[in-house]
Structure 1
């Protein structure tokens, strides 16, 4: 869980190791009177797309045998963009009536599904046809419907279904995206109220009633990312792990199950850390874990761990907040320690829409943070005083980018 930025004091750093100013994070090109002239390739491409945009070309390309398949494919992709909200609402309706779990024991008739969903048969048929077109379901013999290739993975998937239900707020907030873009963080949204730490003046004072809902959804949606991290990086070489912004301890619970010798530490807001302590004690990790409450933007981090993790933490915060948090992590790590950063990335190959579209707009509605590119995280780690960093491949880069950071030296608690 990730509190908002507060006024901080950065750790004392020797001049030779001192990070550059925050302004250096994003190099600014020198001012010029006019933009550089477009290249030959850019001019050719612009002329090509100007031609493609004409009605004559589109009609011709739809008839010509070599271009017709491409034209039809791109037409479908454009229509998918237009219809995307309807697709998400179809999925949302299926999840709301627990349709995938209901069909997990076998295909059902329209009448049975209508009774299960408490809706007229005509409405059930409408929903089933839509879900079938999206490959969530498959129409079987004798008018029955069963799980499809995209619906089957959702059976019993608590994390994904919780996220789908949660997105009802995001759909509401993004109903007028232009107003949101123009007003930025001054625009009050349901998501900013839901993530209560996003605009709280004193996040460490937030009580249990305000952290319960978002703590639970974070815990429910974290396991896939945690398994990606644990499969990509071997924690058995370490003695103690500090999970900063560790929520209710979902990540530490999975770490503890895999590595019986590893000591565990968790740092989060006091109300969240208290929930984590209860949860971790209930699953038998009480003798191996220490839970610390505080504000990681205002308080020093606990020491004693030789590996520190930031799992889905940085993307919720602006660059200055992230830089200062990285400095605090570096100060808490001993010489030879390692920082693990796990989060979705902008510009990830094959998953560009995740960071540049989904997280970009979701975090705008939330009012904090942004998804970053791999090159930006490497630069930020260097600026924060980490001597080197590297990226590790994961099984599902669409959800998990994984970085290792190695501090210059142990600089105290800072």
Structure 2
């Protein structure tokens, strides 16, 4: 520990030295390191500006407007009801971020990232609701001192106040989650087969996107969604609409207060734990342990802290969930410890295509002593 402390102290002094930086820049073999570090620091400094460029593009529906092909700045300014001079400044900024690209003398078309965003419907929905987060982060110190009046917390009262069931609020939450849940479901189920399982209990399953996808993939499976009554009704509607009512059902209840329905040999918690603080999460995991069959599998899928492939995801969720007034991003190791305390064993991480969006842990009930 003393040697490690000496090393980091020495490193910090060197990195904080202007003379050291000048030397690194002048030496050809180390110049790339200094340039990369400068770029990383600039991205951190400019990150809020980047987010506002994207937000403006989404609010103006620029990506949809350009999806049919190139348009001139005059056409776009007229359609968006924005003065041409201001719109061109936005387009120039968006081009730097590869959201759009200039086409000819005075025309614009989608950039590669703008085109990709159209293939992820959840992105636009998330960006639109981020106006509440941006409002809170306008004064980050104030938010850290007192989050009781946060705008994002009011928007997400469904999550911040477990058990509060207001139809409009619950539906808003479920609709936003549903727009990106299909991508999560595809990733999770591609790496965690339920082919040999009898019944899935999707706790906090919202409007039933994950459960419905599981039913389509695994014909021998039955599924139940357990969520607040106003939300469970949306899942029942989905099962009926997609021709799955014979195998899919929905039950209304409070996962933090009511006993979970028993009998399932798979219980899923898809993007649930990180929305809640440690004490309610432990209650939920213990409830899952009581409800799951002895040969059951617990499936946890959500963004996690300490994700090497996406080093910024933890930073994002730490402040997002603070502003939401509930939850925290947890590392796989932290979730493993909580699972073991709740009576689970054989905790394993499954590979996913997009660890930025979702990582997967599975666990089995520990043998009763």
TM-score range, shorter chain: over 0.9
CA distance in 2, matches of 1:254, 1:284: 12
User: Any residues of structure 2 matched to 1:29-44 within 5 Å, and which?
Assistant: 39-44=2-7
Q: Does 1:269 align with 2:232?
A: no
Instruction: Write out per-residue CA displacement over residues 27-49 of structure 1, whole angstroms, 9 at most, x where no aligned residue.
Output: xxxxxxxxxxx533432442343
Q: How does 1:204-223 map to 2 (within 5 A)?
A: 204=163, 206-223=165-182
Tell me, in whole angstroms, the C-alpha distance in 1 between the residues paired with 2:262 and 2:10. Answer: 60
- Call closer, same or farther: CA 1:54–1:271 in 2, change over 3 Å: same
* 1:192 to 2:192 alignment: no
Corresponding residue for residue 365 of structure 1: 323
- Out of 340, 344, 354, the residue aligned to residue 396 of structure 1 is 354
Match of 1:173 among 128, 136, 142: 136
1:409 shift after superposition: 5.3
Structure 1 residue 63, shift from structure 2 partner: 3.6
| Superposed CA offset, 1:61-91 (max 9, x none) | 3344333333233222212211111110001
Query: Match for residue 110 of structure 1?
Result: 73
1:192-271 to 2 correspondence within 5 Å?
Answer: 192-200=153-161, 203-204=162-163, 206-271=165-230
Q: Distance in 2 between matches of 1:397 and 1:198?
A: 23
Decide which moves more: 133-142 or 374-383.
Answer: 133-142
Call closer, same or farther: CA 1:344–1:110 in 2, change over 3 Å.
Answer: same
Contact 2:120/2:180, CA 8 A, preserved across alignment: no
Q: Does the aligned pair in 2 maintain the 1:232–1:393 contact within 8 Å?
A: yes
TM-score when normalising by structure 2: 0.94
Find the partner of 2:21 among 58, 72, 77. 58
Q: Are 1:74 and 2:37 an aligned pair?
A: yes
Tell me if structure 1 keeps the 8 A contact 2:198–2:264. Answer: yes
Q: Say whether the 8 Å CA contact 1:334–1:410 is kept in structure 2.
A: no
User: Runs of 5+ in structure 2 lacking a partner?
Assistant: none
* Cα RMSD, aligned residues only: 1.9
- The structural deviation recorded for 1:229 is 0.5
Aligned-residue offset at 1:284: 1.5
Q: What is the DSSP-based 3-state SS (H/G/I as helix, E as strand, rest coil) of the residue aligned with 1:126?
A: helix
Paired residues, number: 369
Matched position secondary structure for 1:56: helix
Of structures 1 and 2, the one scoring higher in RCO (CA 8 A, sep 6+) is: 1
Determine if contact 1:331/1:410 at 8 Å carries over to the other structure.
Answer: no
Cα distance between partner residues in 1 of 2:96 and 2:157: 38
1:380 has 2:343 as partner? no
Paired residue secondary structure (2:25) = helix
Shift of 1:156: 4.8
Deviation at 1:133, TM superposition (A): 0.5
